Amino acid sequence: MARSMRDIKRQIKSVQNTRQITKAMEMVAASKLRKAQEKAIAARPYAEKLKEVVSSIAAGTEGVQHPMLVSRPVKKTGYLIVTSDRGLAGGYNANILRKVTMLIAEKHKSKDEYALFVIGRKGRDFLRRREYPIVQEVTELSDAPKFADIKSIANSAVQQFVDGTYDELYVCYNQFVNAITQIPTVERLLPMDGVGNQEHHEASANYEYEPSPEGVLEVLLPKYAETLIYSAILDGKASELGAKMTAMGSATKNASKMIGELTLTYNRARQAAITQEITEIVAGANAQS
């Protein structure tokens, strides 16, 4: 009985140590989440304004042609997938990877029909183990990623579409709603066949472009696409921290519950041991008398 009590006490101490760690991780994720959420929200107006400018140019110019605005027969598809480098974030990675793999299984019959750009070690390792065709990867992003950190993979994904390597590009990420809710999202980024076709486009002024509207679009469209990718990554990072905070909060509560149950078991075992000792003493005294 004494050994059993020691084991229970040792287990209580172990769970208490785990609870301290999960509580600390929850607090760290909560503090980083606020900054990540602010950054994700702040990036949206810039993307909207850039879309407005691009739409204004495309709608106000007859006969404008650009590879990023024109749909073509789909022979090959690109997917840019946003995951995390580390785990302990609940279903954050599993949800988006499940959605992407199911979509690929439905749309494609062979690996020659698609290519993957992966951000995050978890996604890279998962897809590499299953031998998915990964073209480019980025890992070790900070909790406050800068555009320079993902510029290479964003530029490559957009440029390969322009060059005709594949005929459409999807961005796959967890859309941030709040700390509890993150929505696995797959959006078609290219071609932008909706840009420039807005029925209620309002022209507040007439502009002259140098060297030409087509020249301006040539510069702005890739930047707009890269901005959307960066915005998705910021959303993904906020979702990751929110999922991590929620997961660590649940782990802390579960640890507290387990400590309570173990403490009750320990007290019962101790009470049983004391009762047994008293019984033995009484029995010994009665035997002597």
Structural domain harbouring 172: 27-246
Count CB neighbours of 257 within 10 A: 11
Nearest one of 212, 173, 269 to 66, comparing CA atoms:
212
Number of residues that make up the chain: 289
pLDDT in the model for residue 48: 80
69: in domain: yes
Answer yes or no: are the C-beta atoms of 87 and 176 closer than 8 Å.
no
pLDDT in the model for residue 67: 81
pLDDT in the model for residue 230: 93
10: in domain: no
Tell me how far CA of residue 250 lies from CA of 25, 245, 253, in angstroms.
Answer: 12, 9, 5
Report the relative pairing of strands 114-119 and 77-82 from DSSP bridges.
Answer: parallel
45: in domain: yes
Gap between the Cα atoms of 278 and 258, Å rounded:
30
272: in domain: no
**Which residues of the chain, if any, have pLDDT below 70?**
1-3, 59-64, 193-208, 289
213: in domain: yes
2: in domain: no
Gap between the Cα atoms of 57 and 39, Å rounded:
28
pLDDT in the model for residue 200: 44
17: in domain: no
- pTM of the full structure: 0.85
- For the chain, what is the domain count? 1
Report the relative pairing of strands 134-138 and 168-176 from DSSP bridges.
Answer: unpaired
51: in domain: yes
Q: Sheet containing 168-176: which strands, arranged edge to edge? A: 134-138, 114-119, 77-82, 168-176, 182-190
pLDDT in the model for residue 1: 46
Angle 56-57-62 from CA coordinates, rounded to 5°: 110
The domain that holds 54 is classified in CATH as: 3.40.1380.10
